Amino acid sequence: MDHGNGRLYVGHTLSGAVSILDARSGLVLDHVQLGKTDAEGKTEHIRMIEVDEATGRVFVSSPSRSGTVWIVDTRNGNAVQRIDDIGLWAAGLAHDTERSRLYVSGGGIEEIAVLDSATGERVSAISTGDTTEPGAEASRHFLLNLALDPGGRLFATDASTGRLYVFDIETGGTIASVPVGKGILDTVFNPQRNEIYVTWRGAGHEDHEGTGGLAVIDGTTLELRSRIDLPVHPNSLAVSPDGNLLFLTVKRPLDKQHPDYRKGASDTVMRVTNDNAPPARDGAGPVTEDKD
User: Cis omega before residue 233 (within 30°)?
Assistant: yes
Q: Shortest CA distance to 204 belongs to which of 256, 159, 151?
A: 159
Cα 249 versus chain centre, distance: 12
CA-based nearest residue to 252, from 268, 237, 238: 268
Contact 273, 279 (CB under 8 A): no
| Per-residue confidence in pLDDT tens, the chain, 292 aa | 999 999 999 999 999 999 999 999 999 999 999 999 999 999 999 999 999 999 999 999 999 999 999 999 999 999 999 999 999 999 999 999 999 999 999 999 999 999 999 999 999 999 999 999 999 999 999 999 999 999 999 999 999 999 999 999 999 999 999 999 999 999 999 999 999 999 999 887 667 677 899 999 999 999 999 999 999 999 999 999 999 999 999 999 888 888 888 999 999 999 998 654 333 334 344 344 444 3
**What is the pTM (predicted TM-score) of this model?**
0.92
C-alpha closest to that of 184 among 143, 239, 223: 143
Domains of the chain: 44-290 (2.130.10.10)
